[in-house]
Each structure stands twice: as structure tokens, then as C-alpha cells.
Amino acid sequence: LERTANTARSSSTCIERPYFSVVVREVWPPGRKLRCRLQSDGPIRHIKEQVKAWNGMGSAEQMLLHRGRELDEGLTANYYNLEGGDCIELAAVGGLSPVGYKPKPLPMP
């Protein structure tokens, strides 16, 4: 994916804020994906907000992983070297299930 630039103009200055997309993939249940739009200098908290709007899972219940590292919501995409097209894995903290997921009961022996 190519990086695009949004430009905000104020008086005679020009501030460039590049946006890019990352894919958030749920670990369980597998197969669900969300494409998030993010600024390179934006905090990881913005991804968590988009995930909450998508599946209702609160920020404290989300664990975002990228290349084996847990992403801290106060740090930026630049800190983690996130680029367009990167895949971030979403896991529920403490084994909580995502909203709407109901496990099947185990068969009795």
C-alpha cells in the first residue's frame, strides 16, 4: 500500500500528516479482520478506539501484538515502525471472549 498524505494548512505553513492502513486480525475466533487508518505519529490508542467501535471490546480488554511485541497504547506507530499493510494481532486479555462469541459446550463422556 502506498502512503498518502493529508495536508493541513494554517496561515502560510503546511503540516504534512501521512496516513496509512494496517490490518487488525482477531486471534480468536479466527478469520475476522479490520482495516484501520492510522497516522504515523498517532498513538496506538487510536487503533484500540477503532477496534472498540468494531467489536465492542474495551481498551483494557484488548492486547495488540505486532512482530511478537505487545503494543502500548501511549506509544506511536513510528515507535513500533508500523507501515502500511502491516498485520496487528488482537487478543483478549485474560482469555475474555470477544463480544458475540459463544463457545460450544463440550460433549459429555
Instruction: Give tens-digit pLDDT for 66-84.
Output: 998 999 999 999 999 999 9
Which whole-number Å values give the CA distances from 69 to 52, 89, 102, in the listed order? 21, 10, 28
Name the strand (E) or helix (H) holding 52. Answer: helix 45-55
* Full-model pTM: 0.68
Q: Maximum distance among all alpha carbons in the chain?
A: 75
The phi and psi torsions of 93 (rounded to 5 degrees) equal -70, 135
Query: What does the alpha-carbon distance between residue 43 and residue 33 come to, in Å, rounded to a whole number?
Result: 20
Is residue 31 very low, low, confident or very high in pLDDT (cuts 50, 70, 90)? confident
